Amino acid sequence: MRFAIRLLPENEPFRIPFNHQHYLQGLIYRRIQRMDPDLSLSLHNPKVPKLFTYSLFMAEKRELAGNKSGLLGYGHGFFYFSTAVPEIAEAFLGGLLQKPEVELWGERFTMETIKALYEPEKLNGRKLVTLSPIAVTTKRVQFGKPRTYDLGPGEPEFYEHIRENLIEKYVAMTGKVPESGELEVEVILAKPKRLEVKPGIYQRAWHLVFRARGDEGLLRVGYLAGFGEKNSIGFGMVKVDGRRPRVKKTWNGGGGDRERKNA
C-alpha cells in the first residue's frame, strides 16, 4: 500500500533541513496514536519489524538555502508513505484526514491530498531507485569492543544483510518463510549520504539505482516496507525507475474522495 501525500505550505519559500526524517517519523507516530493508541504502542516494540517506510520530504521546486543548512522549497511539499500493513495505513491516513494541519521543523503546512497509488505487478528484474537512502549495519570489534559499523555496497555483507532483513520482514508479514529466499542486487549507481537521525547520532546510508532479481515475495516486501534497516525512521524506500505513479484513489483535505484511473 503506497500513498503520495501533498502538502500546501503556509509560507513560500519553505525550509527543508537536510536532516529531517525524524520530523516525519514524529508526524506519522502522532497521527497513528491519535487514531489507534494500541497500534502506536505496538510499533514502539524494538524487537519486531515495523513494516512501513517513507521517502525524504520533497518540493515541486527547490534550491540550496543561502546558508547551506538545507533546501528552500517552492510550490507544494510532498512525500511518499508505504506499508505492508493495512491497519498502519488506515491509522496514519485517518489521522491526517482528521487533523490536516501539519507542522514540521517550524514550517506549517495543510494536507491537501492523499493519493493511493497502484503497485507494479512484477518487481523481479526491474530497475529500482531509492526515495530514501538504504541503511545497513553490522557489529565489528574496534579497540576491543563491538561497535556498530555502517556497511556499503562495496562490501559483500551489505547484500547478505539486505536479504536476511527481507526474510525477517516476510516472516513477520506472512508467518512463513519465502519460497526460495533468493535475492541478487546489481548496483548501477551508488551515492553515500550521512544523516543525523538523532541529536549527535549519524547514519551513513546509500542512495542507489539498482536492479533486483530473485524471490518475488521478498522483493514485494522491500517495495512495501523498505529495503535495509531503520525503515520506520525514514530509510530504504524505493520506486520503479522511470515508472509514472498511477493513482487509484484520492482523498482531499476537506474529507472528500474520488476514484482515479491515471495521474
> Residues with Cβ < 8 Å from 189, sequence gap 6 or more?
208, 209
- Which tens digit of pLDDT belongs to each residue from 38-80? 999 999 887 788 999 999 999 999 999 988 789 999 999 999 9
pLDDT band at 235 (very low <50, low <70, confident <90, very high): very high
Paired strand residues for 183: 214
Establish whether 22 is a catalytic residue.
Answer: no
- Which tens digit of pLDDT belongs to each residue from 151-179? 999 999 999 999 999 999 999 999 999 88
* Percent of the chain topping pLDDT 70: 96
pTM: 0.92
| Residue 263, pLDDT score | 35
Of 22, 23, 44, 149, catalytic:
44
State yes or no: pLDDT of 242 exceeds 60.
Answer: yes
State yes or no: pLDDT of 187 exceeds 80.
Answer: yes
pLDDT band at 257 (very low <50, low <70, confident <90, very high): low
Q: Which of 259, 255, 11 is nearest to 111 (CA)?
A: 255
Of the chain, the end-to-end C-alpha distance in Å amounts to: 17
Q: Which of 261, 252, 258, 262 is nearest to 6 (CA)?
A: 252
Establish whether 29 is a catalytic residue.
Answer: yes
Q: Say if residue 1 is exposed, middle or buried (CB neighbours under 10 Å; 0-12, 13-18, 19+).
A: middle
Of 20, 22, 29, 223, catalytic:
29
CA distance 48 to 51: 9
Structural domains of the chain ordered from first start: 2-118+245-259 (3.30.70.1890), 127-240 (3.30.70.1900)
- Which tens digit of pLDDT belongs to each residue from 16-45? 999 999 999 999 999 999 999 999 999 988
| Residue 137, pLDDT score | 95
pLDDT band at 259 (very low <50, low <70, confident <90, very high): very low
Angle between helices 156-174 and 216-225 (to 10 degrees): 90
pLDDT band at 129 (very low <50, low <70, confident <90, very high): very high
- Which tens digit of pLDDT belongs to each residue from 1-21? 999 999 999 999 999 999 999
| Residue 47, pLDDT score | 78
| Residue 190, pLDDT score | 97
pLDDT band at 261 (very low <50, low <70, confident <90, very high): very low
| Residue 139, pLDDT score | 87
Furthest-apart CA pair in the chain: how many Å? Answer: 60
| Residue 194, pLDDT score | 94
Whole-number Cα distances in Å, 135 to 143, 195, 207: 24, 10, 9
